[in-house]
Protein backbone atom coordinates (compact mmCIF):
# COMPACT_ATOMS: atom_id res chain seq x y z
CA UNK A 1 0.00 0.00 0.00
CA UNK A 2 1.25 3.44 -0.97
CA UNK A 3 0.53 5.90 1.86
CA UNK A 4 0.30 9.64 1.17
CA UNK A 5 0.22 12.12 4.04
CA UNK A 6 -1.42 15.53 4.04
CA UNK A 7 0.52 18.44 2.54
CA UNK A 8 0.54 21.96 3.94
CA UNK A 9 -0.17 24.53 1.18
CA UNK A 10 2.60 26.79 2.50
CA UNK A 11 5.13 23.99 2.05
CA UNK A 12 3.69 23.06 -1.34
CA UNK A 13 4.83 26.39 -2.78
CA UNK A 14 8.43 25.14 -2.63
CA UNK A 15 7.86 21.68 -4.16
CA UNK A 16 9.84 20.60 -7.20
CA UNK A 17 8.18 18.83 -10.11
CA UNK A 18 9.43 15.50 -8.75
CA UNK A 19 8.11 16.19 -5.24
CA UNK A 20 4.73 17.31 -6.58
CA UNK A 21 4.33 14.14 -8.62
CA UNK A 22 5.44 11.94 -5.72
CA UNK A 23 2.88 13.43 -3.33
CA UNK A 24 -0.19 13.69 -5.59
CA UNK A 25 0.12 11.57 -8.75
CA UNK A 26 -1.11 7.95 -8.75
CA UNK A 27 0.28 5.75 -11.53
CA UNK A 28 0.32 2.06 -12.56
CA UNK A 29 -3.21 1.41 -11.31
CA UNK A 30 -3.84 -1.61 -13.51
CA UNK A 31 -1.40 -4.49 -13.08
CA UNK A 32 -2.36 -8.05 -14.10
CA UNK A 33 -4.12 -9.95 -11.28
CA UNK A 34 -3.09 -7.42 -8.63
CA UNK A 35 -4.74 -4.78 -6.47
CA UNK A 36 -2.92 -1.44 -6.44
CA UNK A 37 -3.73 0.73 -3.41
CA UNK A 38 -3.00 4.35 -2.49
CA UNK A 39 -4.14 5.52 0.94
CA UNK A 40 -4.46 9.31 1.22
CA UNK A 41 -4.64 10.91 4.64
CA UNK A 42 -6.60 13.75 3.01
CA UNK A 43 -10.06 12.82 4.33
CA UNK A 44 -8.74 9.22 4.50
CA UNK A 45 -9.73 8.44 0.94
CA UNK A 46 -8.32 5.28 -0.65
CA UNK A 47 -7.78 4.72 -4.38
CA UNK A 48 -7.71 1.15 -5.75
CA UNK A 49 -7.03 -0.30 -9.17
CA UNK A 50 -7.57 -3.91 -10.23
CA UNK A 51 -7.17 -5.64 -13.60
CA UNK A 52 -8.05 -9.32 -13.25
CA UNK A 53 -6.65 -11.31 -16.16
CA UNK A 54 -6.17 -15.00 -15.40
CA UNK A 55 -7.51 -15.07 -11.85
CA UNK A 56 -10.38 -14.01 -9.66
CA UNK A 57 -8.85 -11.27 -7.52
CA UNK A 58 -9.97 -10.29 -4.03
CA UNK A 59 -10.13 -6.64 -2.96
CA UNK A 60 -7.84 -7.39 -0.02
CA UNK A 61 -5.23 -9.29 -2.06
CA UNK A 62 -1.76 -8.49 -0.75
CA UNK A 63 -3.06 -6.00 1.84
CA UNK A 64 -2.41 -6.11 5.57
CA UNK A 65 -5.99 -5.14 6.40
CA UNK A 66 -5.62 -4.82 10.16
CA UNK A 67 -2.27 -3.08 9.90
CA UNK A 68 -3.51 -0.50 7.39
CA UNK A 69 -7.20 -0.10 8.19
CA UNK A 70 -7.49 -1.28 11.79
CA UNK A 71 -10.48 -3.45 10.90
CA UNK A 72 -11.11 -7.12 10.18
CA UNK A 73 -12.06 -6.43 6.54
CA UNK A 74 -11.62 -3.39 4.30
CA UNK A 75 -15.26 -2.32 4.10
CA UNK A 76 -16.05 -2.88 7.77
CA UNK A 77 -16.12 0.90 8.25
CA UNK A 78 -15.93 2.02 4.60
CA UNK A 79 -18.00 2.39 1.44
CA UNK A 80 -16.59 2.11 -2.07
CA UNK A 81 -17.45 3.22 -5.60
CA UNK A 82 -16.18 1.19 -8.55
CA UNK A 83 -16.09 2.05 -12.27
CA UNK A 84 -15.17 -0.41 -15.00
CA UNK A 85 -13.06 1.42 -17.59
CA UNK A 86 -12.08 -1.76 -19.44
CA UNK A 87 -13.88 -4.69 -21.01
CA UNK A 88 -16.75 -6.59 -19.34
CA UNK A 89 -16.21 -8.23 -15.97
CA UNK A 90 -17.93 -9.41 -12.81
CA UNK A 91 -17.77 -8.11 -9.24
CA UNK A 92 -18.99 -10.45 -6.51
CA UNK A 93 -19.94 -8.76 -3.23
CA UNK A 94 -20.79 -11.12 -0.37
CA UNK A 95 -21.92 -13.76 -2.84
CA UNK A 96 -23.98 -11.50 -5.12
CA UNK A 97 -22.66 -11.16 -8.67
CA UNK A 98 -22.80 -7.89 -10.59
CA UNK A 99 -21.91 -7.74 -14.28
CA UNK A 100 -20.18 -4.51 -15.28
CA UNK A 101 -19.63 -3.37 -18.83
CA UNK A 102 -17.49 -0.42 -19.85
CA UNK A 103 -18.47 2.72 -17.90
CA UNK A 104 -20.76 0.86 -15.51
CA UNK A 105 -20.51 1.76 -11.82
CA UNK A 106 -21.08 -0.27 -8.67
CA UNK A 107 -21.57 1.27 -5.23
CA UNK A 108 -20.83 -1.19 -2.40
CA UNK A 109 -22.00 -0.43 1.10
CA UNK A 110 -20.14 -0.46 4.37
CA UNK A 111 -20.23 -3.89 6.06
CA UNK A 112 -19.57 -5.93 2.90
CA UNK A 113 -17.02 -8.56 3.90
CA UNK A 114 -15.89 -10.15 0.64
CA UNK A 115 -15.40 -8.44 -2.74
CA UNK A 116 -13.81 -10.15 -5.75
CA UNK A 117 -13.14 -9.20 -9.38
CA UNK A 118 -13.09 -11.28 -12.55
CA UNK A 119 -12.85 -10.51 -16.27
CA UNK A 120 -15.14 -12.14 -18.81
CA UNK A 121 -12.21 -12.77 -21.16
CA UNK A 122 -8.54 -13.10 -20.36
CA UNK A 123 -7.65 -11.44 -23.68
CA UNK A 124 -9.89 -8.44 -22.92
CA UNK A 125 -9.62 -7.73 -19.19
CA UNK A 126 -11.84 -5.49 -17.15
CA UNK A 127 -10.22 -2.52 -15.42
CA UNK A 128 -11.82 -1.63 -12.12
CA UNK A 129 -11.06 1.85 -10.79
CA UNK A 130 -12.20 2.37 -7.21
CA UNK A 131 -12.35 5.03 -4.50
CA UNK A 132 -13.29 4.31 -0.89
CA UNK A 133 -14.33 6.69 1.89
CA UNK A 134 -14.98 6.17 5.61
CA UNK A 135 -18.64 5.40 6.37
CA UNK A 136 -20.84 5.45 9.46
CA UNK A 137 -23.90 3.45 8.37
CA UNK A 138 -24.84 0.82 5.76
CA UNK A 139 -26.57 1.95 2.57
CA UNK A 140 -27.71 -0.12 -0.42
CA UNK A 141 -25.23 -1.79 -2.77
CA UNK A 142 -26.34 -0.59 -6.21
CA UNK A 143 -25.30 -1.18 -9.83
CA UNK A 144 -25.56 1.91 -12.02
CA UNK A 145 -25.23 2.13 -15.79
CA UNK A 146 -24.64 5.28 -17.80
CA UNK A 147 -28.39 5.61 -18.43
CA UNK A 148 -28.99 5.68 -14.66
CA UNK A 149 -26.67 8.66 -14.13
CA UNK A 150 -28.00 12.19 -13.83
CA UNK A 151 -26.66 14.10 -16.83
CA UNK A 152 -25.63 17.74 -16.51
CA UNK A 153 -24.46 19.42 -19.76
CA UNK A 154 -21.86 22.13 -19.14
CA UNK A 155 -19.63 24.56 -20.99
CA UNK A 156 -19.53 25.44 -24.66
CA UNK A 157 -17.49 24.72 -27.76
CA UNK A 158 -16.47 28.38 -27.90
CA UNK A 159 -14.64 28.05 -24.56
CA UNK A 160 -13.27 24.56 -25.36
CA UNK A 161 -15.10 22.97 -22.41
CA UNK A 162 -18.25 21.45 -23.92
CA UNK A 163 -18.88 18.43 -21.69
CA UNK A 164 -21.45 16.30 -19.91
CA UNK A 165 -21.18 15.61 -16.17
CA UNK A 166 -22.62 12.16 -15.43
CA UNK A 167 -23.48 11.99 -11.73
CA UNK A 168 -23.55 8.35 -10.61
CA UNK A 169 -22.86 8.21 -6.85
CA UNK A 170 -24.65 11.43 -6.04
CA UNK A 171 -27.44 12.45 -3.61
CA UNK A 172 -29.88 12.87 -6.52
CA UNK A 173 -29.25 9.28 -7.63
CA UNK A 174 -28.69 7.17 -4.51
CA UNK A 175 -27.93 7.45 -0.81
CA UNK A 176 -24.38 7.12 0.51
CA UNK A 177 -22.61 8.20 3.65
CA UNK A 178 -20.13 10.70 2.22
CA UNK A 179 -18.79 9.35 -1.07
CA UNK A 180 -19.69 11.07 -4.35
CA UNK A 181 -18.47 9.91 -7.77
CA UNK A 182 -19.20 10.65 -11.38
CA UNK A 183 -17.77 10.68 -14.87
CA UNK A 184 -17.33 13.70 -17.11
CA UNK A 185 -16.92 13.27 -20.87
CA UNK A 186 -15.51 16.06 -23.02
CA UNK A 187 -16.79 16.43 -26.56
CA UNK A 188 -14.39 16.45 -29.54
CA UNK A 189 -12.70 19.84 -29.81
CA UNK A 190 -13.03 20.54 -26.07
CA UNK A 191 -10.07 20.13 -23.71
CA UNK A 192 -10.82 22.01 -20.46
CA UNK A 193 -12.52 19.87 -17.83
CA UNK A 194 -13.51 22.39 -15.17
CA UNK A 195 -14.24 26.06 -15.73
CA UNK A 196 -14.36 28.20 -13.75
CA UNK A 197 -11.64 26.80 -11.51
CA UNK A 198 -12.75 26.28 -7.93
CA UNK A 199 -11.90 24.90 -4.52
CA UNK A 200 -14.21 23.30 -1.97
CA UNK A 201 -13.04 23.75 1.58
CA UNK A 202 -15.23 20.97 2.95
CA UNK A 203 -14.26 18.20 0.49
CA UNK A 204 -11.22 16.72 -1.18
CA UNK A 205 -11.35 15.34 -4.73
CA UNK A 206 -9.55 12.71 -6.78
CA UNK A 207 -9.46 12.89 -10.59
CA UNK A 208 -8.81 9.82 -12.75
CA UNK A 209 -8.07 10.56 -16.40
CA UNK A 210 -8.76 7.95 -19.08
CA UNK A 211 -9.64 7.74 -22.77
CA UNK A 212 -6.61 9.98 -23.32
CA UNK A 213 -5.56 9.16 -26.90
CA UNK A 214 -2.10 7.73 -27.54
CA UNK A 215 0.71 10.34 -27.51
CA UNK A 216 -1.59 12.89 -25.83
CA UNK A 217 -1.42 14.25 -22.28
CA UNK A 218 -3.48 16.24 -19.80
CA UNK A 219 -2.00 19.21 -17.95
CA UNK A 220 -3.62 19.00 -14.52
CA UNK A 221 -3.53 22.27 -12.59
CA UNK A 222 -3.48 22.38 -8.81
CA UNK A 223 -2.32 24.55 -5.91
CA UNK A 224 -3.86 27.58 -4.26
CA UNK A 225 -5.52 29.95 -6.76
CA UNK A 226 -2.65 32.43 -6.58
CA UNK A 227 0.07 29.74 -6.37
CA UNK A 228 -0.78 27.31 -9.16
CA UNK A 229 1.34 24.36 -10.27
CA UNK A 230 0.76 21.62 -12.82
CA UNK A 231 1.29 17.88 -13.29
CA UNK A 232 1.58 16.33 -16.75
CA UNK A 233 -0.64 13.26 -16.74
CA UNK A 234 -0.99 10.32 -19.10
CA UNK A 235 -3.80 7.88 -19.77
CA UNK A 236 -5.26 6.01 -16.77
CA UNK A 237 -3.55 8.04 -14.08
CA UNK A 238 -5.13 9.67 -11.02
CA UNK A 239 -4.31 12.74 -8.95
CA UNK A 240 -5.16 13.72 -5.37
CA UNK A 241 -6.72 17.16 -4.85
CA UNK A 242 -6.68 18.57 -1.28
CA UNK A 243 -9.46 20.95 -0.26
CA UNK A 244 -7.17 24.01 -0.56
CA UNK A 245 -6.21 23.21 -4.14
CA UNK A 246 -7.86 23.95 -7.44
CA UNK A 247 -8.33 20.88 -9.64
CA UNK A 248 -8.66 21.54 -13.34
CA UNK A 249 -7.05 20.27 -16.47
CA UNK A 250 -6.50 20.89 -20.15
CA UNK A 251 -5.60 18.14 -22.57
CA UNK A 252 -3.98 18.00 -25.97
CA UNK A 253 -7.16 16.18 -27.01
CA UNK A 254 -10.57 15.51 -25.53
CA UNK A 255 -10.75 12.75 -22.90
CA UNK A 256 -12.91 11.44 -20.05
CA UNK A 257 -12.32 11.60 -16.31
CA UNK A 258 -13.84 10.18 -13.14
CA UNK A 259 -14.16 12.44 -10.14
CA UNK A 260 -14.55 11.25 -6.57
CA UNK A 261 -15.21 13.41 -3.52
CA UNK A 262 -15.33 12.83 0.21
CA UNK A 263 -15.33 15.05 3.26
CA UNK A 264 -17.69 17.18 5.30
CA UNK A 265 -20.70 17.08 2.96
CA UNK A 266 -22.05 15.83 -0.38
CA UNK A 267 -23.35 19.18 -1.67
CA UNK A 268 -22.06 19.22 -5.26
CA UNK A 269 -22.49 23.00 -5.56
CA UNK A 270 -20.64 23.78 -2.31
CA UNK A 271 -17.59 25.32 -3.98
CA UNK A 272 -15.71 28.58 -4.18
CA UNK A 273 -15.37 29.66 -7.81
CA UNK A 274 -12.29 31.60 -8.88
CA UNK A 275 -12.39 34.05 -11.77
CA UNK A 276 -9.80 33.44 -14.45
CA UNK A 277 -8.43 36.95 -13.89
CA UNK A 278 -7.60 36.03 -10.27
CA UNK A 279 -5.52 32.95 -11.10
CA UNK A 280 -1.75 33.19 -10.86
Strands (E), 94-215: 96-100, 105-108, 115-119, 128-134, 142-144, 150-154, 163-169, 180-186, 198-199, 203-210
Global pTM reads: 0.95
Mean pLDDT of 211-217: 97
Count of helices and strands (H, E) across the chain: 3, 23
- How does pLDDT run across 77-121, given as a tens digit for each residue? 999 999 999 999 999 999 999 999 999 999 999 999 999 999 999
According to the model, what pLDDT value does residue 273 have?
A: 84
Whether the per-residue pLDDT at 193 is higher than 80: the answer is yes
Mean pLDDT of 27-51: 97
Distance CA 35, CA 154 (A): 34
CATH number of residue 251's parent domain: 2.60.120.10
Q: Domain residues for 54?
A: 2-278
- Cα of first residue to Cα of last residue in the chain, in angstroms, is 35
Q: Looking at the 3D structure of the chain, how many domains does it have?
A: 1
According to the model, what pLDDT value does residue 77 have?
A: 97
According to the model, what pLDDT value does residue 199 have?
A: 82
Amino acid sequence: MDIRYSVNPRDFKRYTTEETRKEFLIQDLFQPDKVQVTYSHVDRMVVFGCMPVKKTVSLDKGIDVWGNFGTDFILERREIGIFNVGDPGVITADGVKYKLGNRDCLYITMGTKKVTFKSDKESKPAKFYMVSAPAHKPCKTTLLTLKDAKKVPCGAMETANDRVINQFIHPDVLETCQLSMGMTALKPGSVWNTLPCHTHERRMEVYFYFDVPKDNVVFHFMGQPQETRHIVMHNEEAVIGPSWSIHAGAGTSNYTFIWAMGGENKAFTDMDNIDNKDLK
